[in-house]
Structure 1
Amino acid sequence: MDLLKNVLINDVLNARCADPFGCLGLHQEDNKKGLSLTVWRPGATAISVLEINNETLIGKMTQVTKEGLFHLHLPKQKDYFHYRLKVAYGDKIFTIVDPYQFSDTTFSDPEHHHANLYKSQGAIPLGAPIDSSLTINGTRFAVYAPAARSVSVVGDFNGWDGSAHPMSSSGDGIWRLFIPDVNHGVRYKYEIRANNGELLPHRTDPYAQRIEQFPSFASVTCFDHKHQWQDSAWTERPIEDLYEKPMSIYELHLGSWRRKADNEPLSYLELIDELVPYVTTMGYTHVELLPITEYPFDGSWGYQPVGLYAVTSRFGSPEEFKALVDALHQAKISVIMDWVPAHFPADSHGLANFDGSKQYEYPDPKKGWHPEWNSLIYDFGKEHVVNYLISNAVYWLEEFHIDGLRVDAVASMLYLDYSREEGEWVPNQDGGNHNYEAIAFLRRLNETVYLNHPRCFTVAEESTAFPGVSKPTYMEGLGFGFKWNMGWMNDSLEYIKKDPVHRKYHQGELTFSMVYAYDEQFVLPLSHDEVVHGKGSMIEKMPGDPWQKFANLRVFTAYMYFHPGKKLNFMGNEFAQGREWSHERSLDWHLLDIDYHQGQQTLSKELNQLYKSETALQLDHSGLGFEWISYDDSANSILAFVRKAKNSPEHGIAITNFTPVPQDHYRIGVPESGRYQVVFNSDEGKYQGSDYLHYEGLSSDHIYTAEAVESHGKTHSIEVKVPPLSALFLKWLG
């Protein structure tokens, strides 16, 4: 055995070998007279070599070291061949297929391009063809760690011994090894030795499709693919213009939506039976799931992910999650998932300092460390990081049929000085605070999604006035389909918290949103962030006695549905959840035994139906769909405006009264002569309102006939009875 092989063998014995195929497996003897076989099986006491497809003995190996190195000289063998090993560990004997007879040249990388790297990295099930009648099945592991001195696969199959299965790299930074007979459901990690010789904590596979919970955080091979999709009618439906379709999103945290008697969360399969019919009955068009990629800390709600390719195992398997998505699609419900490329935690099993160097994060902490969240920031200037993230987005769309990605914390990606003081950040090449690399990444992400998956969409949670977030990239935008309207949310919540007697001084907080309503393709969010951390639930924000609290919530909810923009409500808002949301417990479903809460749920359900049935409410992203009637009646805290259908005379009038004072003779101008029918009234008795119109002798669907009386610059007008703390929608009948 030559000097180089001796050096490599020494590296194998010390778990630091970077070229195991240089010394293990079959090699031509130095004198070119025959072959030699070198096998490393830590702890083995004897090894025999057998034919690959039968029990014929080729030879018994000589033990070279007591640690488990064996050698066999085959002087008459000139051609390389495949073989099996009968390995003895004392009185226990196992038959295995040696992985080091399958060099990396045995396989070509599974076909992929940068948008689906997940098909070639991580743990991939493969078969090594021996001849026309025999294929050896196993798992081909591949991990990118270009700065590592050595990388090994450790797992249940080798006693987590880092010396047992060293991997090899062909110089492209990717370490690979095919291990026969490692199949579905096997736990593993990577043992990486840094270039300076430091042995790093075991790393979870960045491409792992399943990861265990604390304390192991082990990756798990995941090849079952049992789920047979039944949603072809959904995934092959005609491509629609989402901007002109109703979008009412039910945002939820799967682990706390509803729990069992023992406070255990529902599984993915149990959610099929409970969540799907509930969302359908309530009339929502979309669900948005707080992050379901794997995360180690429950209290992060998924926003500190370690395992972007793994469905969280808290609620079941990946195949069971697919079944939930499938069931939602069969119920004609779109599925949005929160996706977190803005940061990642520094947990020792994750991506931080992955191979002893900053492979995934920016090296400079002024760019690579997020002070607000105590987490790391992806280096968007590295091609392999961008490919990793974009491949992940594609993975969820293709493998799990996800319809939309809501991208978390976009503002923190766009700005180099986000949440930083002077001197704590590094300006860009032009001296500014925009992260050009993150901007390029986001554009490429959106181009990839929309080019390859035209039925899917992206949504940005972006809290600043960064221009063109939801404009196409060819117009110098970021290319998102939608943007959360945080300005509307903040202003309207500040308004509704105020006592009605003070609201007349703050009318602009409700009307200002229409100044910029069409600058972006907006979603109006009342999200989980607004009902935690001491902010109180939606009903707790409302002023007044119990009746006024619920009346305020009803008119505010209706105002959101009447306002241009898609709608998003966090779970519990629909029935006026009383306590702040906690990820550790169920929503308070027992509140539905109380009339007020039942009334709010009924109102939410019927607003969803109204939104879906009235085309005048659906033109959310064009100024052609909106016209003010009255925005300046601050004395009465009343707003009146028209919502219009596209290419149609169809329209309706929204009136909101944010005081407890009814108006018996409230005249408003109307766009057309004819009749206007009340099709929604938040003050109705079925919602636990005062039923003011009923007591005034009017039916709930009362019809007003326009008079030739000028008002608000219109030639015709109607005189309306407006209940206290109420919202009305009047449909034009012609």
Structure 2
Amino acid sequence: MKLKIVQEDPWLEDYKEEIHQRWVRFQLAYEALTTKGEGLSSFASGHEYFGINFDKEKQVWIYREWAPEAKALFLIGDFNQWDRNTHPLTRDEWGVWEIVLPYAEYKDRLVHKSLVKVHVVAANGKQDRIPAYIRRVVQDEESKDFSGQIWSPESPFTWEDQNFTPDYTKDGLLIYECHVGMGLEVEAVGTYRAFADEILPKIKNLGYNAIQLMAVMEHPYYGSFGYHVSSFFCPSSRFGTPEDLKYLVNKAHGLGLAVIMDVVHSHAVQNVSEGLNGFDGSDHQYFHAGPRGYHEVWDSKLFDYGKWEVKRFLLSNLKYWLEEFHFDGFRFDGVTSMLYFHHGLTTFDHFEKYFEKDVDWDAITYLQLANALIKEVKPSAISIAEDVSGMPGLCRLPAEGGVGFDYRLAMGVPDFYIKMLKEKKDEEWDILEFWKELSDRRYKEKTIAYAESHDQALVGDKSIAFWLMDKEMYFHMQVGDENIIIDRGIAIHKLLRLFTIGLGGEGYLNFMGNEFGHPEWVDFPREGNNWSYQYARRQWSLAEDKKLKYQYLISWDKSMIAVMKQYHILNAPFADQVHADPENKVIIFTRGPLLFAFSFNPQKAIADYKFRAPSMGQYRLVLNSDDKQFGGFGRIDTSKAYFTDQKQQLSIYMTNRTALVFEKYD
């Protein structure tokens, strides 16, 4: 049987059976989890059964934990003076432990903000652990020890976003990637509420229609950027309370911004005290046993996606964030690592590597289930895959032979840009290579393009602005201070962003601050920098200071986004190349109703530059990177009308390191 992706791509013909089998495996798994005909949502309600929950009907607290190989469990906390013997749990035949605490008896002891843990007796000894499904974890300021916390405020949060439904069909998906902790300018850890009040309006003003929140799930080490998760159902308490996070999401929705969560289901922190590792005394409860359960590069644990309770845990986690916090979708971190036993640490030079050797079918089935659940729980929600391998069908429905994601990240684009900046002189850049890198993507699989994300800004690497201008940014960013390195940097910074959003996909992403060329790198507090927050913040004042050139870059970003939205470019079909001139480093293409002209030439400005237009008629400029308001030199008359000649040619002034965008009008 040929599924749709095979019908549309003859190169997949040799793998039609493997593609069909991943559809079969999904169907079997779906049927197994939905035997009562209630859909996946019923199965994905583990957080309502496991963990510490209050039964209003019976007026009791119930704590349940899945720990099949544990010998004994005891609930401990400030409610019983941390006594490890007084509150044992009982085990059922499936390895689920339970204790029931009547509200009448514990109403003054087990209360909102009570601290709790579970004492586990197992083959690896006796340890105090944090319940797997706990909803909040806090850290003691003195001992630095983490504990679970009962979170049961008297009044529920009042949502005001009932009329908000994200709609990307008109403008496309424009994502602003954010980290709450480093979102403020002060040298400290930011909070959910401060970010909501101070930063969200800035993002809205720039024209983006979605934010992507990093580091939401609780993680012991701040410097992990939130990717070594310990407690999967806990919003990180270092940024505030669960209500504070809800306040942020609610405010974003009020501003018309969707909120996408950076979810980490690809691995988990190896820590025993804070995480899931060895919870029931074995090395194979939530994770694969032995070496297969350990990621050597990330120093973390790897989930066993074939296990029933692991699927319940992770699927419930997705449902919880969608329903409890009103998130509008997920960016799945580390998808490449999930898809393959080698975790992507290879070269993908043949189709067989996508379908035969070293492919983790359990992980693929889990991701198919996850995407199906997301649409079932919240049909408007989206899912984004962080995959560098280019697996065919990743963003197609399972019934078509796919995995079910809505978008994939164009991870090769920023790597390509950095490679060009590091290894080649401007004179050596090949515009056809640029075109291929940005336009080479799979048919009917939507892509989110980006020039750089948080990865490129981390210590040890540099943002594009810093690669371009480096230390000169410290001395020559004042308006009126002429500097050839800064001029080059500002010009190329603008070109790469427009080239990316205009050509690279159906969505666009920017990491906060990079739109105005934020200097330096991201470096979280650590012993090596004397626990400084100097580089774990965003200096918004740089872009707001009219005496500095950062204003030009943020003005360009805002205008660029506005043009993309006005002409619906991200939802337009693939671009068509109109003209390529490798010698002069000029490339021209159309997408939607717009004509894009780029000159990557480092020196030559060409008057009366002629090329065949896509159609006869009159054209006018709608965006010009050489405009003085964007830090350009103002060499081009933006009010001029452009007419095709009898040969359907347009003549333009193609200045060096310039991007021009035209529209045809009558």
Deviations 1:620-670 (A, max 9, x none): 5x33xx211023x111111100012xxxxxx11001111232221111222
**Which of 596, 599, 610 is 2:563 aligned to?**
610
Find the counterpart in structure 1 of residue 548 from structure 2.
595
Q: Give the 5 Å matches for 1:330-341.
A: 330-341=254-265
More helix by share: 2
Find the counterpart in structure 1 of residue 197 from structure 2.
273
Larger Rg: 1
Identity within the alignment, %: 26
Cα distance in 2, alignment partners of residues 611 and 517 from structure 1? 22
**Which of 532, 554, 569 is 2:458 aligned to?**
532
Cα distance in 1, alignment partners of residues 563 and 378 from structure 2? 30
Cα distance in 1, alignment partners of residues 237 and 212 from structure 2? 19
**Coordinate RMSD, CA, aligned:** 2.3
Q: 2:82 aligned with 1:160, yes or no?
A: yes
Shift of 1:515: 3.3
| SS of equivalent to 1:113 | helix
5+ long unaligned stretches in structure 2: 1-39, 470-483, 525-532
Stretch of structure 1 that moved more, 268-277 or 506-515: 506-515
Find the counterpart in structure 2 of residue 687 from structure 1.
630
Q: 2:604 aligned with 1:638, yes or no?
A: no
Find the counterpart in structure 2 of residue 143 from structure 1.
65
| SS of equivalent to 2:271 | coil
> Contact 2:392–2:442 at 8 Å: present in 1 too?
no
Cα distance in 2, alignment partners of residues 454 and 732 from structure 1? 37
Stretch of structure 1 that moved more, 532-541 or 373-382: 532-541
Find the counterpart in structure 2 of residue 14 from structure 1.
none
Deviations 1:192-216 (A, max 9, x none): 111x4x5432111111111012522
Find the counterpart in structure 1 of residue 576 from structure 2.
627
| SS of equivalent to 1:388 | helix
Shift of 1:533: 3.2
Find the counterpart in structure 1 of residue 510 from structure 2.
569
> Contact 1:139–1:183 at 8 Å: present in 2 too?
no
**Which of 150, 162, 172 is 1:221 aligned to?**
150
Find the counterpart in structure 1 of residue 657 from structure 2.
725
| Letter of the structure 1 residue corresponding to residue 538 of structure 2 | L
Q: Give the 5 Å matches for 1:628-707.
A: 628-631=577-580, 633-644=581-592, 651-660=593-602, 661-693=604-636, 698=637, 700-707=638-645
> Contact 1:369–1:377 at 8 Å: present in 2 too?
yes
Cα distance in 1, alignment partners of residues 177 and 93 from structure 2? 45
| SS of equivalent to 2:607 | strand
> Contact 1:212–1:313 at 8 Å: present in 2 too?
yes
Shift of 1:551: 0.9
Stretch of structure 1 that moved more, 301-310 or 499-508: 499-508
Shift of 1:474: 0.7
Cα distance in 2, alignment partners of residues 676 and 122 from structure 1? 63
Q: Give the 5 Å matches for 1:86-485.
A: 113-127=42-56, 129=58, 137-179=59-101, 180=103, 181=107, 182-194=110-122, 196=123, 199-213=125-139, 215-224=144-153, 226-235=156-165, 240=167, 242=168, 245-260=171-186, 263-349=187-273, 350-418=275-343, 432-485=357-410
Find the counterpart in structure 2 of residue 558 from structure 1.
498
5+ long unaligned stretches in structure 1: 1-110, 130-136, 645-650, 710-715
TM-score in terms of structure 2 length:
0.83
Shift of 1:128: 6.4
| Letter of the structure 2 residue corresponding to residue 119 of structure 1 | E
CA shift in 2, pair 1:574/1:342, >3 Å: same
| Letter of the structure 1 residue corresponding to residue 558 of structure 2 | K
> Contact 1:482–1:521 at 8 Å: present in 2 too?
yes
Deviations 1:21-79 (A, max 9, x none): xxxxxxxxxxxxxxxxxxxxxxxxxxxxxxxxxxxxxxxxxxxxxxxxxxxxxxxxxxx
| SS of equivalent to 1:595 | coil
Cα distance in 1, alignment partners of residues 57 and 665 from structure 2? 71
| SS of equivalent to 1:692 | coil
Shift of 1:692: 1.0
> Contact 1:552–1:725 at 8 Å: present in 2 too?
yes
Cα distance in 2, alignment partners of residues 226 and 170 from structure 1? 33
Cα distance in 2, alignment partners of residues 421 and 353 from structure 1? 30
> Contact 1:371–1:420 at 8 Å: present in 2 too?
no
Shift of 1:163: 0.2
| Letter of the structure 2 residue corresponding to residue 124 of structure 1 | N
| SS of equivalent to 1:508 | helix
Shift of 1:305: 0.5
> Contact 1:517–1:564 at 8 Å: present in 2 too?
no
Shift of 1:421: 9.4
Cα distance in 2, alignment partners of residues 499 and 462 from structure 1? 26
CA shift in 2, pair 1:419/1:560, >3 Å: closer
CA shift in 2, pair 1:243/1:485, >3 Å: farther
Cα distance in 2, alignment partners of residues 124 and 471 from structure 1? 37
Shift of 1:489: 2.8
Cα distance in 2, alignment partners of residues 608 and 704 from structure 1? 24
Cα distance in 2, alignment partners of residues 680 and 113 from structure 1? 51
Larger RCO: Structure 1 or Structure 2 (Cα < 8 Å, ≥ 6 residues apart)? 2
| SS of equivalent to 2:583 | coil
Cα distance in 2, alignment partners of residues 259 and 207 from structure 1? 34
Stretch of structure 1 that moved more, 721-730 or 439-448: 721-730
| Letter of the structure 1 residue corresponding to residue 576 of structure 2 | E
Cα distance in 2, alignment partners of residues 489 and 513 from structure 1? 10
Cα distance in 2, alignment partners of residues 220 and 690 from structure 1? 59
Shift of 1:395: 0.8
Shift of 1:233: 1.0
